[in-house]
Every structure is written in C-alpha cells, then in structure tokens.
Structure 1
Amino acid sequence: MKTLLKHPLIVLALGLASCGKPSSGPPPAAPMAAGPLEVGVITVKTSPVTLTQDLPGRISAFRVAEVRARVSGIVLKRLFKEGSDVKEGQVLYEIDPAQYEASLESAQGTLARAEASLNSAMLKLNRMQSLIDSRAISKQDFDEASGSKRVNEAEVLLGKAAVKTARINLDYTKVTAPITGRIGLSQVTEGAYVRTDQATLLTTVQQIDRVYVDVNQPSSDLLRLKQALTSGKLKADAAGQARVKLVYENGEIYPEEGSLEVSDVTVNTLTNSVTVRAVFPNPRNELLPGMFVRARLEEGTTPDAILVPQLAVTRNSKGEPTAMVVGAESKVELRVLETPRAVGNQWMVTSGLKAGDQLIINNLQKIRPGAPVKVAAPDSAAPAQTSSAAK
C-alpha cells in the first residue's frame, strides 16, 4: 500500500477526488446590510443679534490750529514746553516789539495833531457863525471854514484807525494760543526771523479731549443700512444714530463709546465709498492724531436672526452657499442659502433655513441628498445670542 501511495498518478487522483467533497466546517457568515449613517445636528433657532461692522480708519484731532506769525520780526522768546497742554490766550512766543512800539507812538502823535487841528477849526467856525448872521463875512468864507472842519474830522478818524492798527500790530508781537489743546514741536527758535508775507508757521495746537475717527464705508453698505433702519429690520438708539466702538491694532477695545456724527454727502467715484465720521471722548489723551484704529459701527439689532456654524455651510459649483438638513423620513435635504454676512465664526442666514430645521454639522462628505441618516446626538441650541460682525 505504501508503494502505491508513492506513485505520482495515484496521489494526483486522490487530490482531485478530495476537491469535490463538501467541507465539514461551518459556512461563512453573509455580509450585513449597511444602516443609516449617524450624523450630528443642531436645531436652527432665531435669536436677537447686534449687527456691527469693523472699518479701518485714522484718528484726527477735534480742532487743529496752526500758529503763524502775523507780524514780521525777530523771535525773542519761546514761552512753552513742546508737547505740553496750553490754554487759549496763553503767550507762546514774543517777537521784537521795538518797531511796533515806535509805530504806535507815531500814530498817536498824528492823531493828537489831527485832534488839535479839528479843535482849532471848530473854534474858527463858531466865531464865523456869529459874524455870518450880521453879514460881517461873506458866505464863501463861512463855507470854507465849515469844509475845513469836516476835513479835520476825517483826519481824526484816520488817526484813530492808525492808532488802532499800530496797537493791534504791537499786540501781535505776543503770539498766543488760539485754542486750548496740546502743542506740538516748535518750528522756529529764538533769534529766527519770521515774516507775515510768508505766513511763517511757528507751531501747531491740537484739541484732543475729543477726537474724530474718519472711516470709509462702501456706499452699498450705507444704502443697505439706511433701508434696514427705514423698514424697521434694524433698531438704532433713541436718537436714531448708530453707536461706535473703537478697536486698537492689537485687538483691545477702547473703553469709551463714541457716536456717529456725519457721513459725507458725496460718494468717492474712485473707491465707491463714503467717508463716515465718528466722535469719541478722549479724557485720558490715549488717542493721538494719526493712530490707525478700527471703528466698530453698531448698525442696529435684528430681533430674529438665524446664525449657523460656518463649518456646516459649503458651496456648490455655482459658488452658492448650501447646507444639509434632516428632512422628511429622516432623509438628507440640500438647501441653498443666502448668507449676506459673517457674525463671528457663524453665518447669518436670511433665506434657505427656518426655525426648527435640523442642520447637519458633521459627516458632510459621506452623505448625499436623499440618503437616510440617523441623528446621533441630542439637539443643541445655536450658539451666541449676540455677536460682532466680521466683514
């Protein structure tokens, strides 16, 4: 028998015979049918949202006064410390007054001579008045005396004007601060010659206890804001003005709140924007002219806004924002949305979703419209009742 098993043909025949016999082990298990995919959802809810808009801008002083020479002469003294606060009327410079003192004395002398001539003419006219009544003098002589009196009266008026002008020029030798504020660098030193024909700039005073913030807002946004306020979709303060907050370059918020004062009446044709001006109190002088800031305009409040996470919104081939919701029979529905603006890390939805919709927030790459799904987690409310818009 052992000899037969060693024969190659016999071994091959036995192998072929064993292939046809059923296996004595258990049959393999059949594959299970795949169930609905589990997805996380949030229930869409409405909530009041304060609409804001951040716009870049620069700070400018509330009032700016350039101090210039109003008389020519040598600067004798500088009477202020650069960068200090000055009061309106405070003397800043002294210009050599010698020639203006002499001009004033000369004008006063001319006035005194004119007044003396007028007094003499009046006495002469009074004497001739009695003589003309008795016809002791001619009418021509009387008329000449009367005309001389009027000429002398005119000379007195001219003399008074010359004295006033000379006194004004003398006062101008003491250069005073035109407004209360912070004074800048001096543009001249003692010994410098200043001239009125060139209106020499001496220094600049800026009032910064209040400051302006000028920002450029797109004209479309300004029009949208006005339409929303008119229709009642947005609520402003009692005065009908938007409130403004200030954000530093490092992201910190300035503690004082400002108000929108005015917007330009024309649109810049190059940038299609309108300049908007806000006023901020600056009691601690923290805000300096020229600083770059962002003005956060509070446009109003939408009482029933819908906010959804940005991660739940995708875009189709047309670039339209879309979202997946759990619809009837727990099947996926595709919705095309309108998202006019971002609010923090969320989209504000104005069309495509309504309160109560179950918005799918995960497994978006694994589902398709019409596919059955299973809600994997309890509903959670849409976050953030109020936020700041980031455009």
Structure 2
Amino acid sequence: MRTGIKVLLGFVVLGVVAAAAILAMTFERQGGTPVRIEMVSQRDLVATVTASGNVRATRKVDISSDISAKVAELLVDEGEDVEEGQVLLRLDPTRYRAALNRSEANLSQVRAQVAQAEANLLRASRHAERMRSIWASDSLLVSRQEVENAETDLEIQESMLEASTFGVSQAQAAVEEARDQLSKTVIVAPMSGRVTRLNVEEGETVIVGTMNNPGSLVLTVSDLSVMEVVLEVDETDVPEIALGDEATVELDAFPELEFPGFVTEIGNSAIRPPSQSAGSGQTPTIDFEVVVTLFDPPAELRPDLSATAEVITDTRDNQLSIPIISLTLREEEENGNGGNSSASGRGGDKPDPIEGVFVIREGRVTFTPVQIGIAGQEYFEVLSGVAVGDSIVSGPYQVIRELEDGDEVRHDEDLESDDERNGSS
C-alpha cells in the first residue's frame, strides 16, 4: 500500500516538473529572443582614421662639426632660445690657426719667388735684346748661336714666371682653405629657435662624419613656432587620407586638451620597406608617414611627445544611418538558378556574403540587405535597403549572429541598461 502511494507521488511530481518545463518553453516562444531594438534615423556622421605618432618641429637643424677638435667653450644650454648668427660653441683652434700661419708663410714665399722670376725675366729680356742689337750691327762680334741662346733663356724665364704665378694662386687657395677650417672652430646658430638637443660638453672631442660613420651630432636647434605630428598610418587607411584633411590631436602629456591641425604631407613609400624584413620569417607591417601640422601650438609643446590623431576623411550631414553592431553577414542562398549554380560550381568560388540588417516587422525579423557608405564612430551611413523609422535589431552581437529569418524577438530594456553601464564604465 505504502509502495503504491510512493509511486503515485513520484508520477505527480514528474508531471508537475514536465508541465512547468512545457509552460516555460511556451512562454519563451511567445515572448521571443530578447534583443536591443533601434529605429533607423538620420544623423550627422564623421569618418575618421586614427593613428599614433610623435610631435616634432616643422623646421629644425641638426648641427654637426665639419672638423675634428676638442670643445673649448660651450656657450649655450639645452632649452635655451638662440638668435640666428649667435655663437653656440667654440672648438680648440690651435691646430687650425697653425695651419693658417703655415699657409700664409708659404704664400709669402711663393710671392717672393714670383718677384725673383720677374727680375730674372727682365735680365734675360735685356740680354736677348743686346745680343740682337750686336748681331744686327756686326755679325762678327757675336755668333748666331749666342743670340739663339739668349732668346731661349728669355723663353725659359717667361715660363718660370708663369709657373710662379700659378704657385701664388695655389698658395692663396691653401690660405683660404686654412682660413675656412679655422672659421669652423666657431659654431653659430643657423636660425632663430631653441636648443632642443645638446650632445656635447666642454672638453669632449667632436669628430667628422664619414660614409660609414655619421660623426658627432653636436646639437639641434628647432623652430617651435610651427609644430607637427608625424603619424604612422596603416597601408589600408592611407588611400582615405588627402592633403588638407582636418585632424584632432591628443597628447599623452596633455590628456585633457585637443589640438586641431591639418594634413600637410603623405608619404609615398613605406616607413619600413618589406625588403628590410625579408628573411625574418615575420609578415612586415606596412605603415606610411602622414604629417599633421598643428594650428597655433602652445609654447609648452615639446618635440618627441607621444600623440594620437584622428584624421577626418569624410563627413555626412543628416544622413540615414544604422548602428555598426547591427550590420551582419549572411551567405547568399541558392535561388535555384541552375546557370548561376553551375557557373559557381565550375569556378569553385563561394559567393561573397551579403551585408544586411534584421528588420523587425510584427515581432519577427527579416534579413534585409543594405548598401553602406562611410563609417562613423558608432554608425554606418546607409545608401539603400532600409528607410527612416524601420525598427532593426541592434544587439547583442552574438544574438545577431545566430538570428534567422522569421525568428520572433522582443525588446529587452535590461540590455539597454547593461549598455549604458558598460558605456559609462
């Protein structure tokens, strides 16, 4: 008897559980999949390309030494403002002053040789003239040979004077070269600006650069009145950028400020060519240099600061738009067109997926292909496929991926609250 009661109670409990499950499934079917819903509307869109880089002065001069010498006197500090022509430092001139003295002495010697050659030429000219006169008056007093020797000696002295004259030119050039080398021991500012880099101290020796050795970079003078940001832009984004595009720059050093600017230069070749990565086994990242010049930069700006820029590549006013998250891809269904199917089969290529959104009508979704234009921060421009006021599914992302035509959906306000909380966090 007791066993029968226990069996009966078991069946009752099982029936209650089954009924509850059936009721829950029915309620879920009637309620539909919870989604976020948004109406298609018109709004202003701004398409941007984001890239990072560093600040630099538009005009700067890296000053290196043209001679090797020890720094004898350093007259500026890093960060100091200088004027064009101002003396920045002096190198030890001892060796170069001695070279100039040696060249000047050699020039004096050569000039003395010229004076001697001129005197020898004058003597040879008088002797030759005297021989000709004697020969003309009485050919028995001097022989023809003596006259010819006198004329030959005159020609020799003329050549020696000419050679001495060339020697003077050569000696003068040596003096100019030595004077130029001596002048290079004094380094002056090539332009007005600020010393943004100072790489030497008094007593250090600077060296001259060669083909394989860049030499000593003494200091850098930069004109900080015009500043620019050098960006590394991915190759896929470069075609969207044009000269003159406006940009907004944010600097890590000034997190609460934005600096306006415009694109003034777009690189024509990659910053790091693929050939440099050949043999490394890694796929090289192809980036191009894009330069953004800042409007009226503040005095606090410094070269080499880290920067992030948003370049505005396109804008749309009052344009039909959909949320970016609402756009999804679906494979094109076979439409029974034997010609097209056979062609696809022969080619072996799968058809391209179709971009579209799920439009809600009477509580059920329909996948609707759309044509999109530019992409803003959160919305796509829509060129065709939907109209103002259409209700579309705008999330969650995983739900949109799994939806099918005809699925029943319902608006869930909790999802909107979650989005607001995530956005605020």
TM (normalized to structure 2)? 0.62
Point out the more displaced range, 364-373 or 160-169.
364-373
Stretch moving more, 264-273 or 123-132: 123-132
Q: Tell me the alpha carbon deviations over residues 37-67 of structure 1, each in whole angstroms, 9 at most, x when there is no partner.
A: 9x99765344553322111112234344343
Query: Does residue 85 of structure 2 align to residue 62 of structure 1?
Result: no
Partner of 2:359: 325
3-state DSSP of counterpart to 2:269: coil
Q: In the aligned structure 2, how far is the partner of 1:220 from the partner of 1:314? A: 22
Deviation at 1:337, TM superposition (A): 4.6
Equivalent position to 1:220, from 223, 227, 236: 236
Task: Quote the Cα distance in structure 1 between the aligned partners of 2:181 and 2:262.
Answer: 43
Secondary structure, aligned partner of 2:258: coil
| Counterpart-to-counterpart distance in 2, 1:43 and 1:52 | 24
Match of 1:242 in 2: 245
**Would the alpha carbon gap of residues 284 and 192 (structure 1) be closer, same or farther in structure 2, given more than 3 Å must change?**
same
Change in Cα spacing, 1:355 to 1:133, as seen in structure 2 (3 Å) is farther
Measure how far apart 1:371 and its partner are: 7.4
Question: Where does residue 156 of structure 1 map in the other structure?
Answer: 168
Q: Which moved more, 1:353-362 or 1:146-155?
A: 353-362
The answer (yes or no) to whether the contact 2:47–2:375 under 8 Å persists in 1 is no
In structure 1, C-alpha distance between the alignment counterparts of 2:307 and 2:107, rounded to whole Å: 60
| 77 and 351 in structure 1: CA distance in 2 versus 1, 3 angstrom threshold | same
In the alignment, which residue of structure 1 is the partner of 2:385?
A: 353
Query: d(CA) in 1 for partners of 2:203 and 2:251?
Result: 43
Task: Tell whether 2:147 aligns with 1:147.
Answer: no
Match of 1:7 in 2: none
The amino acid across from 1:116 in the alignment is A
Which digits, 9 at most, give the CA deviation of each residue in 1:46-94, with x for residues without a partner?
A: 4553322111112234344343333344432211122212233321222
Q: CA deviation at 1:129?
A: 4.7
Partner of 1:187: 199
- Tell me if structure 1 keeps the 8 A contact 2:261–2:294: yes
Instruction: After TM superposition, give the deviation of residue 305 of structure 1 in Å.
Output: 4.0
Q: CA separation of 1:251/1:315 partners in 2, compared to 1, >3 Å: closer, same or farther?
A: farther
- Tell me, in whole angstroms, the C-alpha distance in 1 between the residues paired with 2:316 and 2:125: 90
Task: Give a deviation string over 1:272-306, Cα, whole Å, max 9, x none.
Answer: 33332333356434332222111211213345743
SS at match of 1:141: helix
SS where residue 293 of structure 2 aligns? strand
CA distance in 2, matches of 1:83, 1:74: 23
Once the two structures are superposed, residues 319-363 of structure 1 have per-residue CA deviations (whole angstroms, 9 ceiling, x without a partner) of: 976533345x7864332456677522x221446633335124689
Cα separation, partners in 2 of 1:57 and 1:306, compared to 1, 3 Å: farther
2:368 to 335, 352, 366: 335
Q: Distance in 2 between matches of 1:195 and 1:369?
A: 76
How many residues are treated as equivalent by the alignment? 327
- In structure 2, the CA distance between the partners of 1:203 and 1:285, relative to structure 1 (3 Å rule), is same
1:204 counterpart = 2:204 = no
Q: CA RMSD in A?
A: 4.2
In 2, are the aligned partners of 1:246 and 1:254 still within 8 Å (CA)?
A: yes
Between 1:147-156 and 1:208-217, the stretch displaced more is 208-217
Task: Provide the rounded CA distance (Å) in 1 between the counterparts of 2:109 and 2:40.
Answer: 95
Q: Residue deviations 1:184-226, cap 9 Å, x none?
A: 4543333334444784443333343333422232323333x27
Distance 1:255 1:117 in 2: 71
| Distance change in 2, residues 1:127/1:58 (3 Å) | same
Cα distance per residue 1:367-386 (max 9 Å; x no partner): 985579999xxxxxxxxxxx
- Percent identity over the alignment is 22
Aligned to 1:24: none
Greater helix fraction, Structure 1 or Structure 2: 2
Task: Specify every segment of 5 or more residues in structure 2 that has no aligned partner in the other structure, as ranges.
Answer: 1-29, 134-146, 275-283, 333-352, 412-425
C-alpha contact 1:326 1:357 (8 A) present in aligned 2: no
Opposite residue 311 of structure 2, the aligned amino acid is L
What is residue 268 of structure 2 aligned with on the other side?
A: 264
Match for 2:52: what amino acid? P
Runs of 4+ in 1 over 6 A off after TM superposition: 34-37, 314-321, 362-368, 371-375
Tell me the TM-score normalized by structure 1.
Answer: 0.67
